[in-house]
Structure 1
Amino acid sequence: MPEESLTERLQRHKKLFDEIDTKNNGKFTLEDFERALQFTDHPLKDSHFAISQIYKSLAGQEAASDWISFDKFNQYLIQAEAQLAKGFENVDRDHDGKVTKKDVESYLFKLGLKPTPSEVDTFFRKLDFEDRGFVTFEMFRDGLLLIPRLEGSRVRTAFKFLNDEMENISSEGDVTVSDDVLKSVGYFLAGGLSGVVSRTCTAPFDRVKVFLIARTDLASTLLNNRQELQSKIQEKVHHPVPKKKIQSPLVRAAKTLYKQGGLRAFYVGNGLNVLKVFPESAMKFGSFEATKKFLCGVEGVDDVSKLSKVSTFVSGGVGGVIAQITVYPIDTLKYRIQCASLDSKEKGNKLLVKTAKDMFKEGGVRIFYRGLPLGLGGMFPYAALDLGTFSTVKKWYMKKTAEKQHCSVDDVVLPNYLVLTLGAVSGTFGATMVYPINLLRTRLQAQGTFAHPYTYDGFFDVFKQTVTREGVPGLFKGLVPNLAKVAPAVSISYLMYENLKVLFKLE
């Protein structure tokens, strides 16, 4: 690379600054910066989001500053050019001072981006603005100088902006459909179908849980299981009974369901469970990501990976709450069906329609949202603990691994077994912490049914009646089968998701 004196570099920086500071104020604002780019051939001049990200990079730690001085601008350029010089050396494989399209493609694959030939062409054309067939350092530097470095690699960020952003934003500023959007749909379908298979496979656990929650004459917590067995052993000493009579409440619940409806009894309500997978997943994770991006602006950081732990947990909570509101009526209907008599003449869709009509006659639309405040009260901490714990532990592990391997966090790949373990642990932890709230909510939704004939005036009433009849352990009825389904549910979801990504050619 040709040598440049400090004076020449300073003059070049000052010239670039003056092109932005058109008012000659010795400083410029975001509006000044955006207006100046309109008179250049900058590839992202029509993307307000991209320009705002560049401006945040220029401001550095002073992201909330209203203006940028030449000293701050010069400081950014010096740091950016040093990074670009190192990046150019990494891309220029034979170190001849010229970067070819093949060099660029090879480096993008090294970053794990897996670009298509057309994406490489688009990116290279932006760098080779003189149409030479190769890129010199000066071209590389000038083409990427005002590109934000959001993920630890300026080339990675440049590729995403110069390809994804340009392809998705039309000249009118409208978002257009691209391969990435179609890929997003593919990921959504893969995730949704994985959820359908997972919930269907683990439906019996959920069915037993609801059965135990509705019944007040059976215990299901580990504590009550032990107490009930000890009680029966004592009873056996004084009044001998056949050994087979001493059964766990879980076994008794499963036998009762099987006697009443066979294997089909374990899948009552699963159709509704499957129906809500797609909207629930879409709203949960979509809201989670949207909230994280919003909080990035609040905290003044340029990437979601830099969000504080509090914001990550809050984002998870918001995602869970919005998802809960979306599918709550389906949940209520599912519980009512599961608590209906298995001897009923109506089955399947007929039972579904009859139950929905009876509910509407009883209390209108409001009855479908019975217990919603309580549900939201439990969903926020659950989603926050689940998604927040997973994200926090994952971020901590990747940071520690990057330090040990002396590489960027972006280059760390989580092994499959660890993703599976983290998912199971975070889900189990969150579910256990908020289980009493979910139990009380379920009873509010199922009140007045065949399996749960009791009625309640609200949260305090259902809490009081539950503790009075069954004690504090009664608040955890059904916890065992609920936790028992966590590991297989996560395992099945992960297995299906990975295979569907291959099938849909998303990898």
Structure 2
Amino acid sequence: MASEDVKASESAVSTIVNLAEEAKLAREGVKAPGTALLNICKSLFAGGVAGGVSRTAVAPLERLKILLQVQNPHSIKYNGTIQGLKYIWRTEGLRGMFKGNGTNCARIVPNSAVKFFSYEEASKGILWFYRRQTGNDDAQLTPLLRLGAGACAGIIAMSATYPMDMVRGRLTVQTDKSPRQYRGIAHALSTVLKEEGPRALYKGWLPSVIGVIPYVGLNFAVYESLKDWLLKTKPFGLVEDNELGVATRLACGAAAGTFGQTVAYPLDVIRRRMQMVGWKDAASVVTGDGRGKTALEYTGMVDAFRKTVRHEGFGALYKGLVPNSVKVIPSIAIAFVTYEMVKDVLRVETRISD
């Protein structure tokens, strides 16, 4: 009996010591390993939900954008946003409006999760280095440093999920009249690997890397900088109790998305066209000489830029920009706000603004 009392006392002491240690770590700003891991999982989950919700909300516009980017200029089917959406609805119905969205979500959910989490971690690392370099422990991230953190996050997330993006592009472009059909994500991946080799899964990767730096970097930098400015200046009564409302955060996200995508859009067009290289069954895709429904021939990113501008003019680099702008404004805004709201619900202590 005495032995059991001793064991119980030792257990109680051990519990008290553990709780005291966790309290000490909390006071010092250090999370216990279990808590840190749980917060990482919650952060990844919040990023994934944000990506899935935001992309599904604008799926029809996403598909139209890709179709506009790669269509044959001598056989125009999609002539503008409204006409293009009506044409897809008339010829393919509701399923056509959301064609490729399953693949898109399968790509964007992990991409978004990795992107938001990578941004948080990159921000912490850059801020730590910046404070050491300046000797100021109270220094905060500047817009340029946020741009760097966002660029790092974009490159990591895009590289990790690029094969899914490549396959998504092909699934989106194919129609019911294509001679051969990709039956789904797995079938498309296996077919491309078998017929074109593993390198084909990364066609267009270079312009994607170059494009993701201003696009994702500016998204995060503009969003966070706008929020900081609003919180500091408190204009137009937009700030209440040092918090921004949902509508204000949506507006910040919309501004960030519009600015970032306008800068990076030509690279997105070139990336999409390079992804179609080697696929003879693409529907009305553009070739270097302007003919349609044959394999695209580009030797690289510079060659793709040169041939596109030479045969179709500079404006071809902005094909699909209007539906993309209409898509990006709500998409980026919804992604940022959804991410922060999900983290609030899950009670994750750190948000991207912190």
Give me the TM-score of the superposition, normalised by structure 1: 0.55
In structure 2, the residue matched to 1:307 is 141
C-alpha contact (below 8 Å) 1:293/1:304 kept by paired residues: no
1:474 to 308, 311, 316: 316
**Is residue 229 of structure 2 the alignment partner of residue 380 of structure 1?**
no
CA distance in 2, matches of 1:504, 1:298: 30
Q: Partner letter of residue 162 of structure 1?
A: R
Question: How far apart are 1:352 and its partner, in Å?
Answer: 3.4
In structure 1, the residue matched to 2:121 is 290
CA distance in 2, matches of 1:184, 1:312: 20
CA distance in 2, matches of 1:192, 1:441: 24
Which runs of no fewer than 5 residues in structure 2 stay unpaired? 1-18, 286-293, 350-354
In structure 1, the residue matched to 2:273 is 443
Aligned residues: 314
Q: Partner letter of residue 471 of structure 1?
A: G
Question: How far apart are 1:292 and its partner, in Å?
Answer: 2.1
In structure 2, the residue matched to 1:415 is 245
C-alpha contact (below 8 Å) 1:260/1:343 kept by paired residues: no
**Is residue 317 of structure 2 the alignment partner of residue 483 of structure 1?**
no
CA distance in 2, matches of 1:481, 1:432: 12
Judging changes above 3 Å, is the alpha-carbon distance between structure 1 residues 478 and 303 closer, same or farther for their aligned structure 2 residues? Answer: farther
C-alpha contact (below 8 Å) 1:212/1:218 kept by paired residues: no
**Is residue 103 of structure 2 the alignment partner of residue 272 of structure 1?**
yes
**Is residue 165 of structure 2 the alignment partner of residue 325 of structure 1?**
no
> What is the CA RMSD across the aligned residues, in angstroms?
3.5
CA distance in 2, matches of 1:506, 1:268: 35
Question: How far apart are 1:416 and its partner, in Å?
Answer: 2.1
In structure 2, the residue matched to 1:162 is 27
Question: How far apart are 1:280 and its partner, in Å?
Answer: 1.1
In structure 2, the residue matched to 1:193 is 49
C-alpha contact (below 8 Å) 1:212/1:477 kept by paired residues: yes
Query: CA-to-partner distance for each residue in 1:268-297, whole Å, 9 max, x for gaps?
Result: 211111112332123212222222222233
Judging changes above 3 Å, is the alpha-carbon distance between structure 1 residues 496 and 489 closer, same or farther for their aligned structure 2 residues? Answer: same
Q: Partner letter of residue 352 of structure 1?
A: I
C-alpha contact (below 8 Å) 2:116/2:153 kept by paired residues: yes
**Is residue 89 of structure 2 the alignment partner of residue 258 of structure 1?**
yes
Question: How far apart are 1:219 and its partner, in Å?
Answer: 11
**Is residue 260 of structure 2 the alignment partner of residue 430 of structure 1?**
yes
Question: How far apart are 1:490 and its partner, in Å?
Answer: 4.3
Judging changes above 3 Å, is the alpha-carbon distance between structure 1 residues 214 and 379 closer, same or farther for their aligned structure 2 residues? Answer: same
Query: CA-to-partner distance for each residue in 1:104-132, whole Å, 9 max, x for gaps?
Result: xxxxxxxxxxxxxxxxxx68x97xxxxxx
Q: Give % identity.
A: 31
2:51 is paired with a residue of what secondary structure? helix
CA distance in 2, matches of 1:304, 1:346: 60
Q: Partner letter of residue 412 of structure 1?
A: N
**Is residue 163 of structure 2 the alignment partner of residue 334 of structure 1?**
no
CA distance in 2, matches of 1:199, 1:478: 17
CA distance in 2, matches of 1:304, 1:269: 47
Which runs of no fewer than 5 residues in structure 1 stay unpaired? 1-121, 127-157, 169-174, 221-246
C-alpha contact (below 8 Å) 1:292/1:304 kept by paired residues: no
Judging changes above 3 Å, is the alpha-carbon distance between structure 1 residues 390 and 492 closer, same or farther for their aligned structure 2 residues? Answer: closer
Query: CA-to-partner distance for each residue in 1:369-419, whole Å, 9 max, x for gaps?
Result: 0111111000011112111111222222323349x9xxxx9x722222221
In structure 1, the residue matched to 2:297 is 455
CA distance in 2, matches of 1:425, 1:374: 24
Judging changes above 3 Å, is the alpha-carbon distance between structure 1 residues 248 and 380 closer, same or farther for their aligned structure 2 residues? Answer: same
Judging changes above 3 Å, is the alpha-carbon distance between structure 1 residues 504 and 346 closer, same or farther for their aligned structure 2 residues? Answer: farther
C-alpha contact (below 8 Å) 2:119/2:153 kept by paired residues: yes
CA distance in 2, matches of 1:417, 1:182: 30
C-alpha contact (below 8 Å) 2:249/2:333 kept by paired residues: no
Judging changes above 3 Å, is the alpha-carbon distance between structure 1 residues 304 and 273 closer, same or farther for their aligned structure 2 residues? Answer: farther
Question: How far apart are 1:497 and its partner, in Å?
Answer: 5.1
Judging changes above 3 Å, is the alpha-carbon distance between structure 1 residues 262 and 481 closer, same or farther for their aligned structure 2 residues? Answer: same
Judging changes above 3 Å, is the alpha-carbon distance between structure 1 residues 304 and 459 closer, same or farther for their aligned structure 2 residues? Answer: farther
In structure 2, the residue matched to 1:207 is 63
2:144 is paired with a residue of what secondary structure? helix
CA distance in 2, matches of 1:258, 1:289: 40
Question: How far apart are 1:197 and its partner, in Å?
Answer: 2.2
CA distance in 1, matches of 2:336, 2:213: 24
Question: How far apart are 1:260 and its partner, in Å?
Answer: 3.5
Q: Specify the structure having the higher radius of gyration (Cα).
A: 1
Judging changes above 3 Å, is the alpha-carbon distance between structure 1 residues 395 and 488 closer, same or farther for their aligned structure 2 residues? Answer: closer
